[in-house]
Amino acid sequence: MVRIPRRTHSVSGPPTVHCMWKDVACCCNMVKIHQFHSSMMALRRNPERKCREWSLNSRIESINSIASSPSRQRTADHRFSYAPIPPRIGDRQSSQRVPTQPFRFFDLPREVRDHVYSYLVIRRGKSVPILEAKSILRGQKKRVTSQRTRERLNLKRIQSGRRPLAPREPASEPVVHLNLLQTSRLLHFEASDYLYQNWFAISLDNFPITTIDTPYGWNLGRISKMQLELQLKDVERMNSYVDWSTFFANFPSLRLLRIIPTFHPRYYDWARTELRTWHDAHFVFRAFFRELMASIPPNIHLKLGPSLDPEDDMQLEGRAPIPQIVLQQMCCDIGVRVPSGRGIEERHLAVGRVIDVHGQGHP
């Protein structure tokens, strides 16, 4: 028998396996030696024992049968016991029963579901969650245009024998997941309560028409917080009556309102010279704001002009907001309608309660 000296350096595999190599290293067992060598190489390539357990155990059992054969018996002092390989953690996890039925979302408690809704339908990333109608409609129009262009190009490519173009995946997630509201009636009822905790931003630029262009799914009757941008034009195009009472009748649940008057980008040069100060403003602008302030319901907490932190405001479509001095003079001259014990009265509130002035802090 060919005897192989014992190795003194570190090698992979348990020490009992190397002793078995000494027992089977004979020219009469070349097939068994080749199988044993393959198993050893598998262990060395995968020291965490992630190879197939059944194949390794079968090879060790074959080696045990050879080592325990009568022709290969050693003395009692040189016999070895072979420890079984412990099962892996992955095998324990894989042996567990895998559920075949889908997970039912409504099996969760209502508190957990509300926490999920707050992450899906409330805008994240800003101190004040704002949903801007213009930005959403612009994105929807862009996607529809790109889809029509892709369909037209694919028709030409198919006619020429080329492969059609596949739509690209969106680079970023939507602002809020409104598709969640179309899942079921119960889920729409629960998630919509959190959807209308956002601020809703609307921009008007086509006076005297106050048509509201909003994305599909917005219920104006449930909006409680809104930012309204008014893009003012020159006097010639503003000389019309605006029915603000009908406009505010579309928002019966409105409680917080911020109005940001701006100059329309196309008519900025003309409108800016006509509205430098409130006392020197054209009578058309003075009548416009008087009618607006008189039509605002008294139960609404009103703020005029942009806030102190630009991150708390909507993305303005106008070129520039009206100067703050004009808004302050307007509030002192017109006043604000507020409820009182005897009904509704028009009072001159402090400017800091209506307009965010530096040094007064946030509302």
Residue-wise pLDDT for 176-197, tens only, equals 888 888 888 999 899 988 999 9
Helix (H) / strand (E) element for 304: namely strand 301-304
Query: How sure is the predictor about 69, in pLDDT bands with cuts at 50, 70 and 90?
Result: low
CA contacts within 13 A on the Cβ side of 58: 7
Average pLDDT rounded to a whole number, residues 93-102: 63
List the single range of 43-47, 279-283, 288-292 with lowest mean pLDDT. 43-47
pLDDT at 325 over 70: yes
pLDDT at 55 over 60: no
| Peptide bond between residue 86 and the one before it cis (omega within 30 degrees of 0) | no
Which range is most confident: 58-72, 252-266, 286-300, 329-343?
A: 252-266
Q: Which tens digits make up the pLDDT trace of 4-46? A: 555 554 445 454 555 555 555 556 666 777 777 777 777 666 6
More confident residue, 168 or 234: 234
- Which residue spans within 134-224 are E strands per DSSP? 199-204
Q: Which pTM does this prediction carry?
A: 0.65
Give the model's pLDDT for residue 213.
83
List the single range of 75-89, 222-236, 245-259, 331-345 with lowest mean pLDDT. 75-89
pLDDT at 50 over 80: no
CB atoms within 10 A of CB 264: 21
Query: How sure is the predictor about 361, in pLDDT bands with cuts at 50, 70 and 90?
Result: very low
Give the model's pLDDT for residue 223.
93
Give the model's pLDDT for residue 33.
74
CA distance 330 to 232: 16
Give the model's pLDDT for residue 346.
57
Query: How sure is the predictor about 109, in pLDDT bands with cuts at 50, 70 and 90?
Result: very high
CA distance 354 to 259: 10
pLDDT at 232 over 80: yes
Helices 15-24 & 30-45 angle (0-180, nearest 10): 160
Q: Which tens digits make up the pLDDT trace of 135-169? A: 888 888 888 898 899 899 999 999 998 888 887 76
- For residue 56, the Cα-to-chain-centroid distance in whole angstroms is 48
Give the model's pLDDT for residue 315.
87
More confident residue, 210 or 20: 210
- Helix, strand or coil for residue 124? coil
Give the model's pLDDT for residue 224.
93
Give the CA distances from residue 115 to residues 118, 127, 179, 194, in Å, rounded to whole numbers and listed in that order. 5, 18, 17, 10
**First-to-last CA distance in the chain?**
95
pLDDT at 249 over 70: yes
Average pLDDT rounded to a whole number, residues 332-357: 65
More confident residue, 53 or 120: 120
Q: Judge whether 241 and 208 are in contact, CB under 8 Å.
A: yes
Q: 329 CB contacts (<8 Å, ≥6 apart)?
A: 277, 278, 279
Query: How sure is the predictor about 217, in pLDDT bands with cuts at 50, 70 and 90?
Result: confident
CA distance 17 to 38: 13
Which range is most confident: 78-92, 98-112, 214-228?
A: 214-228
Give the model's pLDDT for residue 54.
47
DSSP string, 16-63: HHHHHHHHH-SGGGHHHHHHHHHHHHHHHH-TT--S-HHHHHHHHHHH
Query: How sure is the predictor about 98, in pLDDT bands with cuts at 50, 70 and 90?
Result: low
Angle formed at CA 139 by CA 136 and CA 145, multiple of 5 degrees: 140
For 270, the token pair is: 């003309």
